[in-house]
Structure 1
Amino acid sequence: MDLGVFNLVRHLTDLPVVRASIIATVVAIGFNYLGFRYFTYRDRDKSGRTKELSLFFLFSVIGLVIQNGVLYAATYGFGWDTPLQSNVFKFLGIGIATLFRFWSYRTWVFRALPAREAVQAAESFLEQRGPASRAAEPDRVG
């Protein structure tokens, strides 16, 4: 998504490369939060949404600086600013920033539930199903 929006903004506007990249990164950050919260880490602790959002955006901004710093260095430091070169360094920046974001999101933002809470959540789920639905299931010998 990030590369697609980057190239779209780059070709439809006269914005400089790094500004187009920042716009694309911000759009991707919004979609990333939705994907992480509601799909990838949907089973993680959901208490403290304000803290979660704050940490997510803090680490996302650090990732944005890493990602666009690579592009900035290539474009303005080395003068590599053809469309192909911009895409290569944008891709490289995405890769480096993704490693940082993966670690930080998993470690600090979308924290796993403590084991006691996970067991309580599972027991609560089973209680909601009721005895009739559990009686229809075959016993498992483990």
Structure 2
Amino acid sequence: MDFTRRLYHRFSSLVHELAKFGSIGAVAFVIDTSLLNLFNLFLGPLTSKLFATIISTTFAYVGNRFWTFRHREQSGLRREYFLFFLLNGIALLFGILTIGFTTYTLNLHDPLSFNIANIVGVGLGTLFRYWSYKKWVFLEATDPIPVELPEGGVKPGR
């Protein structure tokens, strides 16, 4: 039992962080896939992926900044936003490559192949995003973030 408790305490913050990241990612995935299929009715597959990703990435930034990684140090909205979108641009390449390969190399133009290619690209991109967000965007706090106010509360100014 003591081993289980120590193991839980050691990995609880990682498990909670991954659960939040996964929740935001699941909603962003639904946004991305829905918009991708809608845009693909009017635009080409690669342009559709680009626009769907821009919109879903904006949602993901807000969710990850203010929920998933809120316990991490904030290093400036401009810096984080720039890095977040830069790294998502790199992750977008996974989706563009898988969709492009499926559509133009394998010559598969049916919706099922299109969506499977998207899922593979999103999966590969997600692995890269989680690692890169922790490493470069949402940095570890240098000072512990207090969970509650110190004993006695906040003293009034003089």
CA distance in 1, matches of 2:78, 2:140: 17
- Please show how residues 44-123 of structure 1 align to structure 2 within 5 Å: 44-114=72-142, 117-118=143-144, 121-122=145-146
Aligned identity (percent) is 33
State the Cα RMSD in Å.
1.9
CA distance in 1: counterparts of 2:69 and 2:141, whole angstroms:
11
Q: Any stretches of 5+ residues in structure 1 without a counterpart?
A: 132-142
Alignment partners' CA distance in 1, 2:103 and 2:75:
42
Larger Rg: 1
Residues 1:31 and 2:62 are matched in the alignment? no
User: Aligned match of 1:16 in 24, 35, 44?
Assistant: 44
Cα-to-partner distance string for 1:1-38 (whole Å, 9 max, x where unaligned): 21111112223x2x111111111111111111001001
TM-score by length of structure 1 reads 0.80
Asked if residue 43 in structure 1 is aligned to residue 71 in structure 2, the reply is yes
Describe the shift of the 1:128–1:36 C-alpha distance in structure 2 as closer, same or farther (beyond 3 A).
Answer: farther
Write the distance in 2 (CA, Å) between the matches of 1:38 and 1:70: 31
Alpha carbons of 1:130 and 1:25: their partners in 2 closer, same or farther (altered >3 Å)? same
In structure 2, the gaps of 5 or more residues are 1-30
Paired with 1:98 and 1:35, the residues of 2 have a C-alpha distance of 15
Structure-1 separation of matches of 2:100 and 2:116: 12
TM-score (normalised: structure 2): 0.72
Per the alignment, in what secondary structure is the counterpart of residue 52 of structure 1? Answer: helix
The 3-state SS of whatever aligns with 1:89 is helix
Instruction: Give the match for residue 126 of structure 1.
Output: 149
Distance 1:67 1:122 in 2: 40
Change (3 A) 1:49 1:85: same
Count of residue correspondences: 124
**Local SS of the residue matching 1:130:** coil
